Chain A
């Protein structure tokens, strides 16, 4: 049962009105959960994690462990003056931040977060997530092209080239999981991972696809890093080369929205990895939603680790890693998975 049905049952409203009210309240709940991670905790955690990796303390003056900076920073950023540069392409310049932040949020509609929190469960769930996540590249092009700045333009081009190069390995590796599960529906993919693979004494190893096919898992992690534009693939906004790439000319709330969109995207990548490779909300003792959040924060931590530890690749290397490396490996993985499923007895 999905979240809107649960809510409309609780409120006792039937019919189409119940559907609408349940859907809206459910959407507000899911949106709040995601924003609490990506907008409130994410930026603070990022600063703390990066500081820990580089042997610093970072923010600690306001509130315990610098938690007060969450409020201070949001007020500070929102109260900055909005400077619209000369010659920007006006509708596109304004739409890009909204599209980037909104499209990232949309992907969470079909993610099962455990404890019955799943907004919708259409049969094409996995394809839906890939489709709405790709909208981000449109937003990046709009931001880069409309800014009337050469650095932004180059950043926008790089963003497209990178998303194109890594989109296909990402989808091919993602759907190799479908060969195991036999369905694109998110709840089915999670249910298929709940079986026990082997019993090691008292510990039962679940049949998570990361354990069944670690090759696909590693490939997906790499392609996902490129999709969310984080090291070693942070070329679209490479600070030392093209200032800030597509976000050079954005200030005030627009900058906040672009930044928020990127954070939500990192969490969407984490949610996708958790759902299709790490058994979704499955885990012992604790409730499902807690396990789900632990898993997406694990992926977030990994992203920040890469950010601190791995140098950026050059643009020519980025093209070659994507087309000559990951794409070929993704095809190999698809064949490998098909052979495992087809030949080995299940």
Chain B
């Protein structure tokens, strides 16, 4: 219990330090309000359109979906690693190792499938490929 009190105390410290820095900065920094300098940076041009409606590469979704699967799998592997050494001395290496090997094996087959389908290769836009100049 006292461990989590200590971690709570560090949370307090970890939030206080940035807030204190923001306070000190607020005390000593100038403020010269002016409309022009509030424009977002777009290589010196006047910004066009909204940056929240950008169409971006589908790849970012694909890897996020894969991540969910492998992250949950990792959660299942962690308890196995903790008890593995004891389990070996109790039920033997084969019985402790094979079930997890089968479990990971299934997921590796899944990864191989995603690999063949091109889910972990960068998606290239057909238009950009057509316009490519060697």
Contacts and interface: CB of A to CB of B under 8 A. Distances in A.
16 contacts: A20-B9, A27-B9, A30-B10, A31-B17, A35-B17, A86-B40, A102-B14, A151-B41, A160-B60, A165-B63, A168-B74, A178-B82, A182-B84, A334-B77, A335-B101, A338-B97
A157 B26 CA distance: 31
A45 B79 CA distance: 40
Interface string A118-139: 0111100001100000000000
B128 interface: no
A160 B115 contact: no
Ranked 3 nearest A-B pairs via Cβ: A316-B122, A253-B25, A23-B9
The main secondary structure of chain B at its interface with chain A is helix
Given A175-B77, A342-B96, A320 B21 contact: no
B13 A31 contact: yes
Which of B38, B51, B77, B121 has the most chain A CB within a 10 Å cutoff?
B51
A204 B83 CA distance: 29
B6 A23 contact: yes
Contacts of B78: 127, 175, 178, 184
B82 A253 contact: no
Interface of A: 2-5, 19-20, 22-24, 26-28, 30-31, 35, 75, 78-87, 97-98, 101-103, 105-106, 108-110, 119-122, 127-128, 145, 147-154, 157, 160-161, 164-165, 167-168, 171-172, 175-176, 178-180, 182-184, 243, 248-249, 252-253, 256-257, 315-316, 319-320, 323-324, 327-328, 331, 334-335, 338-339, 341-343
Interface string B1-17: 01111111111111101
Interface of B: 2-15, 17-19, 21-22, 24-26, 28-32, 37-43, 47, 50-52, 54, 56, 59-60, 63-64, 66-67, 70-71, 74, 77-78, 81-86, 88, 93, 96-97, 100-101, 104, 108, 111, 115, 120-122
B91 to A, nearest CB: 11
A227 to B, nearest CB: 14
B21 A164 contact: no
Contacts of B85: 179-180, 182, 341
A288 B54 CA distance: 51
B5 A4 contact: yes
Contacts of B93: 342-343
A115 B113 CA distance: 50
B60 A78 contact: no
A111 to B, nearest CB: 11
B3 A338 contact: no
B40 A106 contact: no
Contact of A323 (B4, B6, B8, B66): B66
A229 B88 CA distance: 38
A342 B97 CA distance: 8
B76 to A, nearest CB: 11
B82 A182 contact: yes
A208 to B, nearest CB: 18
Contacts of A110: 7
Given A31-B10, A79-B25, 4 more contacts: A83-B38, A87-B50, A102-B15, A164-B64
